[in-house]
Structure 1
Amino acid sequence: MKKKSATTNIAPRASVNSPSQLLVDIAFERIEQMIITRKLPPGSMISESQLAAEMDMGRTPVREALQRLRQIGFVEMLPRRGTLVAGVDIRQQLELLEVRRALEDLVVRVAALRATPEERENLKRLAQQMTIAAKRGDMEAWIQAGGEIHDAEVRATHNSMLITSMLPIHAQSRRFWYHHIVQNRAYIEGAQLHSKVLTAIADGDGDRAAAAAHGLMQFIERFTRSALDTF
Protein backbone atom coordinates (compact mmCIF):
# COMPACT_ATOMS: atom_id res chain seq x y z
CA MET A 1 0.00 0.00 0.00
CA LYS A 2 1.34 3.37 -0.97
CA LYS A 3 1.63 5.69 2.01
CA LYS A 4 1.02 9.36 1.62
CA SER A 5 0.55 11.83 4.43
CA ALA A 6 -2.53 13.95 4.50
CA THR A 7 -1.75 17.65 4.22
CA THR A 8 -2.24 19.53 7.44
CA ASN A 9 -0.24 22.55 6.35
CA ILE A 10 -2.32 25.66 6.92
CA ALA A 11 -1.49 27.25 3.58
CA PRO A 12 -3.75 26.07 0.72
CA ARG A 13 -1.89 23.98 -1.80
CA ALA A 14 -2.80 26.39 -4.57
CA SER A 15 -0.57 29.03 -2.96
CA VAL A 16 2.53 26.90 -3.50
CA ASN A 17 4.22 28.43 -6.53
CA SER A 18 7.97 28.28 -5.94
CA PRO A 19 10.49 25.44 -5.73
CA SER A 20 11.64 26.52 -2.26
CA GLN A 21 8.08 26.60 -0.94
CA LEU A 22 7.42 23.18 -2.44
CA LEU A 23 10.43 21.78 -0.57
CA VAL A 24 9.10 23.18 2.69
CA ASP A 25 5.73 21.54 2.06
CA ILE A 26 7.38 18.20 1.28
CA ALA A 27 9.51 18.43 4.42
CA PHE A 28 6.46 19.36 6.50
CA GLU A 29 4.38 16.42 5.29
CA ARG A 30 7.17 13.87 5.69
CA ILE A 31 8.22 14.99 9.17
CA GLU A 32 4.58 15.25 10.26
CA GLN A 33 4.06 11.65 9.10
CA MET A 34 7.16 10.51 11.00
CA ILE A 35 5.78 12.07 14.18
CA ILE A 36 2.24 10.74 13.73
CA THR A 37 3.49 7.20 13.10
CA ARG A 38 6.00 7.50 15.97
CA LYS A 39 9.03 6.97 13.77
CA LEU A 40 10.02 10.13 15.60
CA PRO A 41 8.64 9.20 19.05
CA PRO A 42 7.54 11.65 21.74
CA GLY A 43 10.46 12.98 23.74
CA SER A 44 13.04 12.38 21.01
CA MET A 45 15.34 15.11 19.79
CA ILE A 46 15.25 15.99 16.10
CA SER A 47 18.43 16.54 14.11
CA GLU A 48 17.90 19.05 11.29
CA SER A 49 21.00 17.87 9.48
CA GLN A 50 20.02 14.20 9.72
CA LEU A 51 16.49 14.88 8.45
CA ALA A 52 17.86 17.02 5.63
CA ALA A 53 20.19 14.21 4.59
CA GLU A 54 17.41 11.60 4.76
CA MET A 55 15.10 13.75 2.62
CA ASP A 56 17.90 14.84 0.26
CA MET A 57 17.35 18.56 0.75
CA GLY A 58 18.98 21.51 2.50
CA ARG A 59 18.49 22.40 6.15
CA THR A 60 16.50 25.58 5.38
CA PRO A 61 13.25 23.86 4.26
CA VAL A 62 13.59 21.41 7.16
CA ARG A 63 13.97 24.29 9.61
CA GLU A 64 10.92 26.07 8.18
CA ALA A 65 8.89 22.84 8.29
CA LEU A 66 9.80 22.39 11.95
CA GLN A 67 8.60 25.92 12.67
CA ARG A 68 5.21 24.99 11.18
CA LEU A 69 5.14 21.83 13.26
CA ARG A 70 5.85 23.91 16.34
CA GLN A 71 2.80 26.04 15.55
CA ILE A 72 0.52 22.99 15.63
CA GLY A 73 2.10 21.59 18.78
CA PHE A 74 4.02 18.67 17.28
CA VAL A 75 7.46 19.88 18.37
CA GLU A 76 9.02 22.19 20.93
CA MET A 77 12.02 24.44 20.35
CA LEU A 78 14.35 24.24 23.35
CA PRO A 79 17.02 26.95 23.75
CA ARG A 80 20.55 25.55 23.38
CA ARG A 81 19.19 22.00 23.08
CA GLY A 82 17.36 21.82 19.77
CA THR A 83 13.96 20.54 18.65
CA LEU A 84 12.01 18.06 20.78
CA VAL A 85 9.06 15.92 19.63
CA ALA A 86 6.18 16.94 21.90
CA GLY A 87 4.30 14.34 23.92
CA VAL A 88 0.66 13.32 23.41
CA ASP A 89 -1.46 14.58 26.32
CA ILE A 90 -4.77 12.70 26.61
CA ARG A 91 -6.29 15.28 28.93
CA GLN A 92 -5.35 17.99 26.46
CA GLN A 93 -7.30 16.05 23.84
CA LEU A 94 -10.46 16.55 25.90
CA GLU A 95 -9.78 20.29 26.01
CA LEU A 96 -9.23 20.24 22.27
CA LEU A 97 -12.59 18.50 21.80
CA GLU A 98 -14.38 21.35 23.58
CA VAL A 99 -13.10 23.68 20.89
CA ARG A 100 -13.51 21.24 18.03
CA ARG A 101 -17.14 20.37 18.82
CA ALA A 102 -18.44 23.88 18.13
CA LEU A 103 -16.21 24.43 15.11
CA GLU A 104 -17.14 21.11 13.49
CA ASP A 105 -20.80 22.14 13.47
CA LEU A 106 -19.88 25.31 11.62
CA VAL A 107 -17.52 23.51 9.22
CA VAL A 108 -20.05 20.93 8.05
CA ARG A 109 -22.84 23.48 7.66
CA VAL A 110 -20.69 25.83 5.60
CA ALA A 111 -19.21 22.99 3.56
CA ALA A 112 -22.69 21.67 2.77
CA LEU A 113 -23.57 25.12 1.47
CA ARG A 114 -20.40 25.99 -0.46
CA ALA A 115 -18.75 22.77 -1.66
CA THR A 116 -18.29 22.53 -5.40
CA PRO A 117 -19.66 19.53 -7.33
CA GLU A 118 -16.13 18.15 -7.58
CA GLU A 119 -15.60 18.52 -3.82
CA ARG A 120 -18.89 16.73 -3.11
CA GLU A 121 -17.87 13.80 -5.29
CA ASN A 122 -14.49 13.68 -3.58
CA LEU A 123 -16.14 13.54 -0.14
CA LYS A 124 -18.21 10.55 -1.24
CA ARG A 125 -15.07 8.86 -2.53
CA LEU A 126 -13.27 9.45 0.75
CA ALA A 127 -16.20 7.98 2.70
CA GLN A 128 -15.85 4.78 0.66
CA GLN A 129 -12.08 4.81 1.14
CA MET A 130 -12.40 4.95 4.93
CA THR A 131 -15.10 2.25 4.94
CA ILE A 132 -12.90 -0.11 2.93
CA ALA A 133 -9.96 0.52 5.28
CA ALA A 134 -12.20 -0.16 8.28
CA LYS A 135 -13.44 -3.47 6.89
CA ARG A 136 -9.86 -4.54 6.27
CA GLY A 137 -8.75 -3.41 9.73
CA ASP A 138 -6.03 -1.36 8.05
CA MET A 139 -5.13 1.22 10.67
CA GLU A 140 -2.73 3.25 8.56
CA ALA A 141 -5.15 3.47 5.62
CA TRP A 142 -7.94 4.40 8.04
CA ILE A 143 -5.91 7.19 9.60
CA GLN A 144 -4.81 8.36 6.15
CA ALA A 145 -8.40 8.52 4.93
CA GLY A 146 -9.37 10.45 8.07
CA GLY A 147 -6.70 13.04 7.38
CA GLU A 148 -7.84 13.47 3.79
CA ILE A 149 -11.46 13.74 4.93
CA HIS A 150 -10.71 16.49 7.42
CA ASP A 151 -8.63 18.36 4.87
CA ALA A 152 -11.36 18.08 2.22
CA GLU A 153 -14.13 19.12 4.61
CA VAL A 154 -12.47 22.30 5.82
CA ARG A 155 -11.31 23.31 2.34
CA ALA A 156 -14.87 22.84 1.07
CA THR A 157 -15.91 25.71 3.38
CA HIS A 158 -13.83 28.13 1.27
CA ASN A 159 -13.24 30.07 4.49
CA SER A 160 -9.57 30.75 5.23
CA MET A 161 -10.22 31.37 8.94
CA LEU A 162 -11.87 27.99 9.39
CA ILE A 163 -9.04 26.33 7.49
CA THR A 164 -6.45 28.04 9.69
CA SER A 165 -8.32 27.04 12.85
CA MET A 166 -9.25 23.46 12.04
CA LEU A 167 -6.25 21.92 10.31
CA PRO A 168 -3.96 22.09 13.38
CA ILE A 169 -6.77 20.66 15.54
CA HIS A 170 -7.28 17.79 13.13
CA ALA A 171 -3.53 17.14 13.01
CA GLN A 172 -3.38 16.74 16.79
CA SER A 173 -6.43 14.49 16.75
CA ARG A 174 -4.95 12.27 14.05
CA ARG A 175 -1.75 11.85 16.04
CA PHE A 176 -3.76 10.82 19.10
CA TRP A 177 -5.87 8.35 17.10
CA TYR A 178 -2.87 6.69 15.47
CA HIS A 179 -1.53 5.72 18.87
CA HIS A 180 -4.75 4.72 20.63
CA ILE A 181 -6.93 3.14 17.96
CA VAL A 182 -4.63 0.10 17.98
CA GLN A 183 -5.92 -0.65 21.47
CA ASN A 184 -9.57 0.18 20.75
CA ARG A 185 -9.99 -0.94 17.10
CA ALA A 186 -13.12 1.18 16.60
CA TYR A 187 -12.59 1.33 12.83
CA ILE A 188 -16.07 0.33 11.66
CA GLU A 189 -18.07 2.66 13.90
CA GLY A 190 -15.79 5.58 13.13
CA ALA A 191 -16.05 4.97 9.38
CA GLN A 192 -19.84 4.77 9.55
CA LEU A 193 -20.12 8.04 11.46
CA HIS A 194 -17.73 9.85 9.13
CA SER A 195 -19.69 8.53 6.16
CA LYS A 196 -22.93 10.01 7.50
CA VAL A 197 -21.29 13.43 7.79
CA LEU A 198 -19.75 13.29 4.34
CA THR A 199 -22.92 12.08 2.65
CA ALA A 200 -24.93 14.89 4.21
CA ILE A 201 -22.39 17.50 3.09
CA ALA A 202 -22.35 16.02 -0.42
CA ASP A 203 -26.15 16.22 -0.47
CA GLY A 204 -26.06 19.86 0.61
CA ASP A 205 -28.05 19.16 3.79
CA GLY A 206 -26.48 21.33 6.48
CA ASP A 207 -28.86 20.31 9.28
CA ARG A 208 -28.32 16.61 8.65
CA ALA A 209 -24.56 17.17 8.39
CA ALA A 210 -24.56 18.98 11.75
CA ALA A 211 -26.58 16.21 13.41
CA ALA A 212 -24.18 13.61 12.00
CA ALA A 213 -21.18 15.65 13.15
CA HIS A 214 -22.67 15.78 16.65
CA GLY A 215 -22.87 11.99 16.68
CA LEU A 216 -19.30 11.73 15.45
CA MET A 217 -18.05 14.07 18.16
CA GLN A 218 -19.84 12.04 20.84
CA PHE A 219 -18.06 8.94 19.53
CA ILE A 220 -14.69 10.72 19.52
CA GLU A 221 -15.17 11.96 23.08
CA ARG A 222 -16.17 8.47 24.24
CA PHE A 223 -13.11 7.04 22.53
CA THR A 224 -10.86 9.65 24.12
CA ARG A 225 -12.23 9.04 27.61
CA SER A 226 -11.76 5.29 27.21
CA ALA A 227 -8.10 5.93 26.38
CA LEU A 228 -7.83 8.15 29.47
CA ASP A 229 -9.27 5.36 31.65
CA THR A 230 -6.59 2.93 30.47
CA PHE A 231 -3.74 5.44 30.66
Structure 2
Amino acid sequence: MAVMLEDSIAGEEDLSLSERAYRHLRDRLIMLDIRPGDPINDGKLAAELGIGRTPVREALKRLESDHLVVSYPRRGTFATIVDITELADVSELRESLEPLAANRAAKLATPALRAEIRETAAAIAGMDGDDDPYDLMRYDIKVHRLIYRAAANAHLEDVLIRYDNLATRIWCMVLEKVPSVSSHIAEHVELLEAVADGDSERAAKLALEHVTSFEQAIRNVL
Protein backbone atom coordinates (compact mmCIF):
# COMPACT_ATOMS: atom_id res chain seq x y z
CA MET A 1 0.00 0.00 0.00
CA ALA A 2 1.67 3.21 -1.14
CA VAL A 3 0.67 6.24 0.89
CA MET A 4 1.70 9.70 -0.24
CA LEU A 5 2.36 12.23 2.49
CA GLU A 6 1.08 15.68 1.59
CA ASP A 7 0.27 18.80 3.60
CA SER A 8 -0.26 21.34 0.85
CA ILE A 9 -2.45 21.84 -2.17
CA ALA A 10 0.67 22.65 -4.21
CA GLY A 11 1.92 19.82 -6.43
CA GLU A 12 5.52 18.71 -6.36
CA GLU A 13 6.26 20.66 -9.53
CA ASP A 14 5.10 23.89 -7.88
CA LEU A 15 7.51 23.62 -4.95
CA SER A 16 10.91 25.26 -4.64
CA LEU A 17 13.95 22.98 -4.42
CA SER A 18 14.34 23.97 -0.77
CA GLU A 19 10.70 23.08 -0.01
CA ARG A 20 11.02 19.74 -1.80
CA ALA A 21 14.16 18.93 0.17
CA TYR A 22 12.49 20.01 3.40
CA ARG A 23 9.43 17.80 2.93
CA HIS A 24 11.47 14.81 1.79
CA LEU A 25 13.85 15.00 4.75
CA ARG A 26 11.10 15.84 7.24
CA ASP A 27 9.09 12.75 6.36
CA ARG A 28 12.17 10.51 6.47
CA LEU A 29 13.00 11.90 9.90
CA ILE A 30 9.53 11.51 11.40
CA MET A 31 9.19 7.94 10.11
CA LEU A 32 12.69 7.19 11.49
CA ASP A 33 14.03 6.24 8.06
CA ILE A 34 16.81 8.51 9.27
CA ARG A 35 17.42 7.12 12.74
CA PRO A 36 17.68 9.33 15.83
CA GLY A 37 21.29 10.38 16.35
CA ASP A 38 22.33 9.60 12.76
CA PRO A 39 24.68 12.11 11.12
CA ILE A 40 23.23 13.98 8.14
CA ASN A 41 25.50 14.51 5.16
CA ASP A 42 24.16 17.41 3.08
CA GLY A 43 26.30 16.48 0.07
CA LYS A 44 25.01 12.91 0.01
CA LEU A 45 21.41 14.06 0.43
CA ALA A 46 21.81 16.61 -2.36
CA ALA A 47 23.08 13.85 -4.66
CA GLU A 48 20.18 11.56 -3.70
CA LEU A 49 17.65 14.31 -4.46
CA GLY A 50 19.42 15.47 -7.61
CA ILE A 51 19.73 19.06 -6.38
CA GLY A 52 22.48 21.36 -5.08
CA ARG A 53 23.67 21.61 -1.49
CA THR A 54 22.19 25.07 -0.93
CA PRO A 55 18.50 24.01 -0.89
CA VAL A 56 19.39 21.03 1.31
CA ARG A 57 21.15 23.34 3.78
CA GLU A 58 18.14 25.68 3.75
CA ALA A 59 15.90 22.69 4.47
CA LEU A 60 18.11 21.59 7.35
CA LYS A 61 17.84 25.03 8.95
CA ARG A 62 14.05 24.72 8.94
CA LEU A 63 14.24 21.18 10.28
CA GLU A 64 16.36 22.42 13.15
CA SER A 65 13.61 24.87 14.12
CA ASP A 66 11.20 21.90 13.97
CA HIS A 67 13.41 20.08 16.51
CA LEU A 68 14.02 17.26 14.04
CA VAL A 69 17.74 17.90 13.52
CA VAL A 70 20.44 19.58 15.58
CA SER A 71 23.69 21.16 14.39
CA TYR A 72 26.94 21.38 16.33
CA PRO A 73 29.88 23.62 15.37
CA ARG A 74 32.71 21.59 13.77
CA ARG A 75 30.77 18.35 14.33
CA GLY A 76 27.96 18.55 11.81
CA THR A 77 24.20 17.97 11.74
CA PHE A 78 22.41 15.02 13.33
CA ALA A 79 18.86 13.70 13.62
CA THR A 80 17.56 14.58 17.07
CA ILE A 81 17.07 11.93 19.71
CA VAL A 82 13.45 10.95 20.35
CA ASP A 83 12.65 11.93 23.93
CA ILE A 84 9.77 9.83 25.24
CA THR A 85 9.46 12.18 28.23
CA GLU A 86 8.08 14.82 25.82
CA LEU A 87 4.95 12.72 25.26
CA ALA A 88 2.91 14.42 28.00
CA ASP A 89 3.77 17.94 26.82
CA VAL A 90 3.11 17.15 23.16
CA SER A 91 -0.16 15.41 24.00
CA GLU A 92 -1.34 18.30 26.17
CA LEU A 93 -1.01 20.70 23.24
CA ARG A 94 -2.56 18.30 20.75
CA GLU A 95 -5.53 17.67 23.05
CA SER A 96 -6.32 21.38 22.83
CA LEU A 97 -5.57 21.99 19.16
CA GLU A 98 -6.66 18.79 17.37
CA PRO A 99 -10.34 19.21 18.37
CA LEU A 100 -10.16 22.85 17.24
CA ALA A 101 -8.83 21.81 13.84
CA ALA A 102 -11.46 19.07 13.44
CA ASN A 103 -14.23 21.47 14.44
CA ARG A 104 -13.06 24.09 11.92
CA ALA A 105 -12.56 21.47 9.20
CA ALA A 106 -16.14 20.23 9.62
CA LYS A 107 -17.41 23.79 9.24
CA LEU A 108 -15.05 25.14 6.59
CA ALA A 109 -13.85 22.31 4.35
CA THR A 110 -14.39 22.95 0.66
CA PRO A 111 -16.49 20.51 -1.41
CA ALA A 112 -13.30 19.20 -3.02
CA LEU A 113 -11.70 18.56 0.35
CA ARG A 114 -14.85 16.89 1.70
CA ALA A 115 -14.71 14.52 -1.30
CA GLU A 116 -11.04 13.76 -0.59
CA ILE A 117 -11.84 13.20 3.08
CA ARG A 118 -14.60 10.71 2.18
CA GLU A 119 -12.25 8.89 -0.22
CA THR A 120 -9.61 8.63 2.50
CA ALA A 121 -12.17 7.31 5.00
CA ALA A 122 -13.27 4.66 2.51
CA ALA A 123 -9.67 3.63 1.84
CA ILE A 124 -8.98 3.20 5.55
CA ALA A 125 -12.24 1.28 6.08
CA GLY A 126 -11.13 -1.15 3.37
CA MET A 127 -7.65 -1.76 4.79
CA ASP A 128 -6.38 -5.18 5.74
CA GLY A 129 -5.49 -5.46 9.42
CA ASP A 130 -2.26 -7.18 8.37
CA ASP A 131 -0.92 -4.12 6.54
CA ASP A 132 2.60 -3.04 7.36
CA PRO A 133 2.49 -0.87 10.52
CA TYR A 134 4.71 1.78 8.92
CA ASP A 135 2.30 2.08 6.00
CA LEU A 136 -0.51 2.43 8.54
CA MET A 137 1.38 5.24 10.24
CA ARG A 138 1.75 7.01 6.89
CA TYR A 139 -2.05 6.90 6.65
CA ASP A 140 -2.23 8.41 10.13
CA ILE A 141 -0.02 11.29 9.02
CA LYS A 142 -2.03 11.79 5.83
CA VAL A 143 -5.33 11.94 7.75
CA HIS A 144 -4.09 14.54 10.20
CA ARG A 145 -2.56 16.74 7.51
CA LEU A 146 -5.78 16.54 5.49
CA ILE A 147 -7.85 17.72 8.46
CA TYR A 148 -5.36 20.50 9.24
CA ARG A 149 -5.56 21.72 5.64
CA ALA A 150 -9.37 21.60 5.70
CA ALA A 151 -9.36 23.73 8.88
CA ALA A 152 -8.40 26.72 6.69
CA ASN A 153 -6.01 28.35 9.14
CA ALA A 154 -2.41 28.30 7.94
CA HIS A 155 -1.00 29.14 11.38
CA LEU A 156 -2.96 26.37 13.09
CA GLU A 157 -1.94 23.96 10.31
CA ASP A 158 1.75 24.80 10.72
CA VAL A 159 1.71 24.33 14.50
CA LEU A 160 -0.24 21.07 14.37
CA ILE A 161 1.97 19.55 11.68
CA ARG A 162 5.01 20.22 13.86
CA TYR A 163 3.48 18.59 16.93
CA ASP A 164 2.03 15.69 14.97
CA ASN A 165 5.52 15.11 13.53
CA LEU A 166 6.99 14.89 17.03
CA ALA A 167 4.19 12.58 18.16
CA THR A 168 4.73 10.34 15.12
CA ARG A 169 8.43 9.96 15.94
CA ILE A 170 7.53 8.83 19.45
CA TRP A 171 4.97 6.38 18.08
CA CYS A 172 7.47 4.95 15.57
CA MET A 173 9.96 4.32 18.38
CA VAL A 174 7.54 1.85 19.98
CA LEU A 175 5.65 0.74 16.86
CA GLU A 176 6.84 -2.87 17.00
CA LYS A 177 5.52 -3.16 20.58
CA VAL A 178 2.07 -1.66 19.97
CA PRO A 179 -0.51 -4.42 19.37
CA SER A 180 -3.30 -2.23 17.99
CA VAL A 181 -1.87 -0.07 15.22
CA SER A 182 -4.62 -1.02 12.77
CA SER A 183 -7.40 -0.26 15.27
CA HIS A 184 -5.76 3.09 16.07
CA ILE A 185 -5.79 4.00 12.37
CA ALA A 186 -9.35 2.67 11.97
CA GLU A 187 -10.49 5.31 14.49
CA HIS A 188 -9.99 7.83 11.72
CA VAL A 189 -12.99 6.56 9.73
CA GLU A 190 -15.60 8.01 12.09
CA LEU A 191 -13.58 11.20 12.51
CA LEU A 192 -13.25 11.75 8.77
CA GLU A 193 -16.93 11.01 8.18
CA ALA A 194 -17.91 13.51 10.88
CA VAL A 195 -15.75 16.17 9.23
CA ALA A 196 -17.12 15.39 5.77
CA ASP A 197 -20.70 15.50 7.13
CA GLY A 198 -20.10 18.90 8.72
CA ASP A 199 -20.76 17.57 12.23
CA SER A 200 -18.33 19.89 14.01
CA GLU A 201 -19.13 18.89 17.60
CA ARG A 202 -18.76 15.18 16.89
CA ALA A 203 -15.58 15.78 14.90
CA ALA A 204 -14.03 17.69 17.80
CA LYS A 205 -15.05 14.97 20.28
CA LEU A 206 -13.60 12.18 18.13
CA ALA A 207 -10.38 14.11 17.55
CA LEU A 208 -9.88 14.46 21.29
CA GLU A 209 -10.59 10.77 21.87
CA HIS A 210 -8.09 9.84 19.15
CA VAL A 211 -5.27 11.90 20.65
CA THR A 212 -6.03 10.55 24.12
CA SER A 213 -6.02 6.93 22.94
CA PHE A 214 -2.74 7.57 21.09
CA GLU A 215 -1.04 8.68 24.29
CA GLN A 216 -2.51 5.79 26.28
CA ALA A 217 -1.41 3.22 23.68
CA ILE A 218 2.16 4.43 23.97
CA ARG A 219 2.11 4.53 27.77
CA ASN A 220 0.84 0.96 27.82
CA VAL A 221 4.04 -0.30 26.18
CA LEU A 222 6.54 1.90 28.01
Calculate the TM-score normalised by the size of structure 1.
0.87
Q: Select 1:162's aligned residue among 131, 139, 156.
A: 156
What's the C-alpha RMSD, in Å, of the aligned pairs?
A: 2.1
Q: Select 1:194's aligned residue among 161, 178, 188.
A: 188
* SS of residue matched to 2:129: helix
Deviation, 1:73, is 1.2
Does the alignment pair 1:106 with 2:95?
no
Where does the alignment leave 5 or more consecutive residues of structure 1 unmatched? none
Per-residue CA distance 1:193-222 (angstroms, 9 max, x = gap): 211111111100011111211221221120
Q: Distance in 2 between matches of 1:42 and 1:183?
A: 18
Where does the alignment leave 5 or more consecutive residues of structure 2 unmatched? none
Does the alignment pair 1:117 with 2:111?
yes
Aligned to 2:23: 29
**For residues 138 and 39 of structure 1, do their structure 2 counterparts lie closer, same or farther at Cα, with a shift above 3 Å needed?**
closer
Contact 1:133 1:139 in 2 (8 A): no
Deviation, 1:15, is 9.9
Aligned to 1:171: 165
Q: After the TM superposition, which of the residue ranges 205-214 and 135-144 deviates more from structure 2?
A: 135-144
Deviation, 1:13, is 4.6
* SS of residue matched to 1:83: strand
Aligned residues: 222
Calculate the TM-score normalised by the size of structure 2.
0.90
Aligned to 2:174: 180
**For residues 201 and 65 of structure 1, do their structure 2 counterparts lie closer, same or farther at Cα, with a shift above 3 Å needed?**
same
Deviation, 1:126, is 1.6
Contact 1:133 1:142 in 2 (8 A): no
Percent identity between matched residues is 29
Contact 2:178 2:218 in 1 (8 A): no
